[in-house]
Amino acid sequence: MQGIPIRPDQASTIAQSVDHLYFFITAVTLFFSVLIFSIIFYFMIKYRRRSPDERPKAIEGSLPLEILWTAIPTLIVAVMFVWGSTLYFQNSVAPPGAMEIFVTGKQWMWKVEHPEGQREINELHVPLGRPVKLTMISEDVIHDFFIPAFRIKKDVLPGRYNSMWFEPNKLGTYHLFCAQYCGAFHAGMVGSVIVVEPDEYERWLLGGVQGETIEAAGERIFKESGCSTCHLPDGSGPAPSLTGVYGSTVHLTNGQTLTADDAYIRESIVSPAAKIVSGYKPVMPSFQGQLSEEQILDLVAYIRSIGLPQDNAKEKQQEEGKK
């Protein structure tokens, strides 16, 4: 350690742009602090009381001045708002084709699952220069996945998928923190993010225990948990076929329609009665508490893989949009 650290690493594509805004606000803060401090010091000396009976003239105020120092801060914060929001808005949606990694938070560890089935705990290996989208859920309380070097964080909620994305642009090992208080060993829910060259990442994926891919795991759970006995691929069972469902428009018994996404698939597993597909009876039991969030993620991945092909899904959405 050399002296006192004052800046975290910049290791993602957005880190630099966030820092620029950070420096801008810092500059504004410094400017106004110095301005106020020096004016106060100047007045304190210049207008110090020279005799006990001194009575200064009353000054009521000045409208032009009030307008001036309302307008200037308004302009400055307007710039900050637009700047900060644009940056945030741009970064709120992952670019198409980002590779996806699943994260499950649990008191007090992070479980990471790569699409090829490689699993790790409290570590996250990612390839350099490739956008990565994290889909995250918690098994218990609220956690928060925070990578300071990437300038990103997002709460990991129980019962709901949250996602965020980043594109690492610097090799190295960086801190991973839980930034939402989650109980006794909150401070121990830390790990590291390891950015490696893409080919090294491929090698890493192949190394270690050669497990099944995430879809394969999902398919296995689909069979083991008995899903496949009702959800027959041809739709002849008591439950709708799941082939081609993901990304498609689903019609419900109450007349509503929705696009089948991760949240819908998850809800249908844990509280199947909430949204019943038109033409079917609410006979499915809830799997809440029987499947872990990791297993549900595997199932979601499997149902995605038998869903609409991506191009079709896009076209379909565009059609819906036109209507």
Partner 1 sequence: MSDTQVEHAEQTGLAHQFEDLSQQHDADTFGIWIFLVTEIMFFGGVFAGYAILRWFYFAAFEGGSHLLDIRLGAFNTVVLLGSSLTMALAVRSAQIGSRRAQIIFLTWTLILGGVFLGIKAYEYHQKFVEHIVPSLDWAPEGEVLARLAPGGLNHAQLYFFFYFGMTGLHALHMIIGMGLLFWLLLRARRGDFTPAYFAPVEVVGLYWHFVDIVWIFLFPLLYLIGGRY
Partner 2 sequence: MSQHIEPLKTYVTVFVSLISLTLLTTAVAFIDLGPFNTVVALAIAFCKMMLVILFFMHVRHSGGLVRITIIAGFFWLALLIGLTMADYQTRTWTPPPQAWSKTAPPTHP
Partner 3 sequence: MSTATLEPRVQSPRNYLNADYGWKSWLFTVDHKRIALLYMVSITFFFVIGGFFAFLMRLHLIEPQGALVQPETYNKLFTLHGVIMIFFFLIPSIPAVLGNFLVPLMIGARDLAFPKLNLLSWYIYIVGGLFTLYSAIAGGVDTGWTFYTPYSSTYSNTQVTAVAVGVFITGFSSILTGLNFIVTIHKMRAPGLTWYRLPLFLWSIYATSIIMILGTPVLAITIFLLALEHLFHVGIFSPQLGGDPLLFQHLFWFYSHPAVYIMILPAMGVISEIIACFSRKRIFGYKIVGFSSVAIAVLGFLVWGHHMFVTGQSVYAGLIFSFLSFLVAIPSAIKVFNWTSTLYKGSISYEAPMLYALGFIGLFTMGGLTGMFLASIATDVHLNGTYFVVAHFHYIMVGGAVMGYLGGLHFWWPKISGRKYPNGWAMLSAAIIFIGFNLTFFPQFVLGYLGMPRRYAFYPAEFQVLNVMSSAGASILGVGYLIPLIYFIWSMRYGPIAEANPWGATGLEWHTQSPPPTENFEHIPVVTEEAYAYSAEEEALRV
Rule CB under 8 A: choose which of 32, 309, 315, 319 binds partner 2: 309
Here the tokens at position 68 are 């001036």
CB distance 149 to 15 below 8 Å? yes
Q: For residue 250, state whether it binds partner 2 (rule: CB under 8 A).
A: no
User: Considering beta carbons, is residue 89 or 234 the nearer one to partner 3?
Assistant: 89
DSSP strand pairing (109-113 vs 132-138)? unpaired
Here the tokens at position 179 are 């930034």
Rule CB under 8 A: choose which of 91, 104, 118, 135 binds partner 3: 91
Angle between the N-to-C axes of helices 13-46 and 63-90, in degrees from 0 to 180, rounded to the nearest 10: 160
Element at 100 (helix H, strand E):
strand 99-106
Give the integer Cα–Cα distance in Å for 105 and 293. 9
Q: Tell me, residue by residue from 195 to 224, as one string, x for binding to partner 3 by CB under 8 A and - for no binding.
A: ------------------------------
Q: For residue 134, state whether it binds partner 2 (rule: CB under 8 A).
A: no
Which residues have CB under 8 Å from 29's CB, separation 6+?
A: none
Report in angstroms how near the CB of residue 215 gets to partner 2 at its nearest. Answer: 8
Which residues have CB under 8 Å from 4's CB, separation 6+?
A: none
Q: Tell me, residue by residue from 256 to 295, as one string, x for binding to partner 1 by CB under 8 A and - for no binding.
A: ---------------x-xx-x-----x---x---------
Which of positions 17-36 make contact with partner 2 (CB under 8 A)?
none
**Other CB atoms within 10 Å distance of the CB of residue 54:** 9
Rule CB under 8 A: choose which of 96, 254, 255, 285 binds partner 1: 254
Rule CB under 8 A: choose which of 158, 198, 208, 226 binds partner 2: 198
Q: For residue 272, state whether it binds partner 3 (rule: CB under 8 A).
A: no
Which of positions 12-31 make contact with partner 3 (CB under 8 A)?
17-18, 21-22, 25, 28-29
Give the integer Cα–Cα distance in Å for 163 and 153. 10
Q: For residue 311, state whether it binds partner 3 (rule: CB under 8 A).
A: no
DSSP string, 123-165: EEEEETTS-EEEEEEESSS-EEEEEGGGTEEEEE-BTS-EEEE
Give the integer Cα–Cα distance in Å for 292 and 139. 7
Which spans of this chain sit near partner 2 (rule: CB under 8 A)? 92-100, 115-116, 127-131, 163, 167, 169, 198, 246-247, 259, 261-262, 301, 304-305, 307-310, 313, 317
Which spans of this chain sit near partner 1 (rule: CB under 8 A)? 254, 271, 273-274, 276, 282, 286
